């Protein structure tokens, strides 16, 4: 999201800003899902659903950044100003991503280090690895599909007063 927001901001590329807006709800949903399912997993593992662990806290901050981005861009009526303001928040908020990733190395946290790396064999059973890779692929496929659909909807919404959108609506209405 920060990448597309920065491209939109730096080059005044409207489509990049629209893609950033389309990514935000999906990113927020996956971040919330990670925190929520982690709470279910944490109870039997650590004896509590939440601790102020570095990784959990930085992930919660990421959720707040997603929600803040969506609130900010929707609170400003001028689309160009909203995209620029949102891009600033997204770019500054991107600093949190390496903090989340490296938190287990930098601080003494409850979370273990990486189970899968590019330089070593996986430290998990093959069946678990297969399931994890399958679900990773499924989540990426879902994210791409939803982002493309949301981007299309944002384009049509922003361009609703143009000739090509009116023509598209007429053609779809005639085909129904």
Tens place of pLDDT for every residue, the chain, 176 residues? Answer: 999 999 999 999 999 999 999 999 999 999 999 999 999 988 998 899 998 989 899 999 999 999 999 999 999 999 999 999 999 999 999 999 999 988 888 888 777 777 777 787 777 889 999 999 999 999 999 999 999 999 999 999 999 999 999 998 888 888 75
Task: Round to whole Å and give the CA distance between 68 and 137.
Answer: 28
Whether 116 is covered by a domain: the verdict is: yes
- DSSP per residue, the chain: -HHHHHHHHHHT-HHHHHHHHHHHHHHHHHHHHHHHHHHHHHHHHHSSS----HHHHHHHHHHHHHHHHHHHHHH-SSHHHHHHHHHHHHHHHTTHHHHHHHHHHHS--SS---S--SSS--SS-HHHHHHHHHHHHHHHHHHHHHHHHHHHHHHHHHTTTSHHHHHHHHHHHHH-
- Does the residue 69 lie in any domain? yes
Please give the helix or strand (H or E) that residue 41 lies within, else none. Answer: helix 14-46
Number of independent structural domains in the chain? 1
Residue 64: inside a domain = yes
Domain holding 15, by residue range, is 2-124
Tokens found for residue 24: 């935000």
pTM value is: 0.90
Residue 142 lies in a domain: no
Confirm whether 143 is domain-assigned: no
Residue 5: per-residue pLDDT:
98
Query: Is residue 73 assigned to a domain?
Result: yes
């Amino acid at each position: 999201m920060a990448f597309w927001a920065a491209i939109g901001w730096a080059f005044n590329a409207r489509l990049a800003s629209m893609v950033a807006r389309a990514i935000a709800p999906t990113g927020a949903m996956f971040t919330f899902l990670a925190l929520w399912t982690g709470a279910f997993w944490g109870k039997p593992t650590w004896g509590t659903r939440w601790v102020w662990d570095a990784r959990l806290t930085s992930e919660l901050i990421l959720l707040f950044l997603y929600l803040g981005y969506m609130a900010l861009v929707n609170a400003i009526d001028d689309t160009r100003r909203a995209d620029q303001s949102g891009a600033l928040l997204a770019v500054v908020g991107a600093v949190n991503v390496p903090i989340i990733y490296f938190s287990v190395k930098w601080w003494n946290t409850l979370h273990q280090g990486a189970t899968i790396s590019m330089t070593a064999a996986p430290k998990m059973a093959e069946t678990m690895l297969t399931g994890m890779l399958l679900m990773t692929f499924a989540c990426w496929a879902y994210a791409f599909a939803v982002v493309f659909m949301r981007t299309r909807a944002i384009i049509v919404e922003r361009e609703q007063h143009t000739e090509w959108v009116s023509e598209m609506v007429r053609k779809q209405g005639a085909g129904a």
